[in-house]
Amino acid sequence: MLVLGIETSCDETAAAVVRDCKELVSSVISSQTDVHKRFGGVVPELASREHLERIEPIVEEAMGRAQVGFDEIDGIAVTVGPGLIGSLLVGLCYAKGLAYALGRPIVGVNHLEGHIYSVVFDNPPVEHPALALIVSGGHTHMFYVPRPGQYKIVARTRDDAAGEAYDKVAKMLGLGYPGGPIIERLAREGDPRAVRFSLPKISDRRPDFSFSGLKTAVSKYVRETGLQPVKEGETPSQAIKDLAASFQDVVIRSLVSTTERVAAEHQPKTLIVAGGVACNMALREAMSAMAERLGIPVYFPSRHLSTDNAAMIAAAGSVKLAAGERAGLDLNADVSLRLQNIEVEDDELRR
Ligand code: ATP
Ligand code: MG
Ligand code: FE
């Protein structure tokens, strides 16, 4: 079964062809980083305009690289949320038009479920129950997955997502956008013990995350020490590198300790760590060491499938199509689409 995946939820225009749910045939990602960089974040109006211009050539490139004709495609999978409404609609309308023209079925995919499926290409099959941490620009959410397609939130951020914290701290330090890769690079040359930031504490002892306090602590540190943000073209100082390393160290320790706590409690057969921040090698190493302590295998997507892509959408959609799921042409986007779909005993988790 050949499935074409389309992803336009934020600022990557992406298309991919996947065979039999897990074989990556082609994946094309056009990132708009250059367009949004000078604003220090994604500008929604610009994002949808860029998607509109790029969607057709990107889909054609994915088909060309896969060396398959449109008539060989068995179905189309498209991201329907969460994301930016204007961006989502470009991919969705294009996918619906194509499905209609080809007379092929279409299914909508939750972007977060897509991130969870990003691990299927380069790892052994996921065994359930699984525990999946999505750590990205908009989310830091952990899902308990008792069976494929069933999701229950077991931990989430109370405020900023981890990737968002990276981006905001990078902006504060004049490092550019997106912040994750830049901070990771600088942190390698910095001392993580140079600045003592405390681990975020959740008062009611739920296994949740919080990163806005850390962001404020970094900003306070910059103000109090008079540290100057890096100017364009300037090489970052050792003090900036130390700060980057100290910030990253707390983010990683927080992600790992909370995941360890939940994993020890739920005893999953597989741990999944996906989303843009999962590109981070220091995070991967710390998560792997923790998983080894618990004796649970941990799967990461390959690095180019950690940030937004359409291969993960095609993989998640393939499973739905194979199970006979079909969406109508009234399929719509939902900017705040949730992934949790199984009963929760605890009211507090229903949020
Ligand atoms: P969501 O998936 O929640 O809707 P998104 O799609 O915008 O959000 P992704 O594309 O999955 O997010 O990830 C982008 C985020 O990943 C950015 O915040 C970026 O800073 C972060 N990121 C990318 N590479 C790294 C890295 N090496 N280290 C840390 N963070 C990183
Ligand atoms: Mg992006
Ligand atoms: Fe994403």
Domains of the chain: 2-118+305-350 (3.30.420.40), 130-300 (3.30.420.40)
Looking at this protein, which amino acid is placed at residue 349? Answer: L
184 annotated binding-site participant: yes
Under 8 Å between Cβ of 281 and 312:
no
Cα–Cα distance between 33 and 255 in angstroms, integer? 26
Segment holding 229, helix H or strand E: none
User: For residue 67, is pLDDT > 90?
Assistant: yes
User: For residue 351, is pLDDT > 70?
Assistant: no
Task: Using a pLDDT cut of 90, give the percent of the chain over it.
Answer: 92
Ligand 1 within 6 A of 13 CB?
no
- Of 41-45, 87-91, 250-254, least confident by mean pLDDT is 41-45
Task: Using a pLDDT cut of 70, give the percent of the chain over it.
Answer: 97
308 annotated binding-site participant: yes
Cβ burial, residue 52 (10 Å; 0-12/13-18/19+): middle
DSSP readout, 106-138? EEEEEHHHHHHHTTSSSSSPPPSSEEEEEESSS
Mean pLDDT estimate for the chain: 95
Structure confidence at residue 208 as a pLDDT band (50, 70, 90): very high
Ligand 1 within 6 A of 181 CB?
yes
User: For residue 186, is pLDDT > 80?
Assistant: yes
At residue 40, the pLDDT reads 81
- 84 φ, ψ to 5°? -85, 135
At residue 41, the pLDDT reads 84
Q: Find the 2 Cα to ligand 1 centroid distance in Å.
A: 28
At residue 206, the pLDDT reads 87
Q: What ipTM was assigned to the predicted interfaces of this complex?
A: 0.98
At residue 348, the pLDDT reads 43
User: For residue 303, is pLDDT > 70?
Assistant: yes
Which protein residue's CA is at the shortest distance from atom 4 of ligand 1?
Answer: 138
160 annotated binding-site participant: no
Structure confidence at residue 39 as a pLDDT band (50, 70, 90): confident
Ligand 1 within 6 A of 211 CB?
no
3-state secondary structure at position 98: helix
Q: Which letter does DSSP use for residue 279 in this model?
A: G
3-state secondary structure at position 261: helix
Strand partners, 140: 135
At residue 346, the pLDDT reads 52
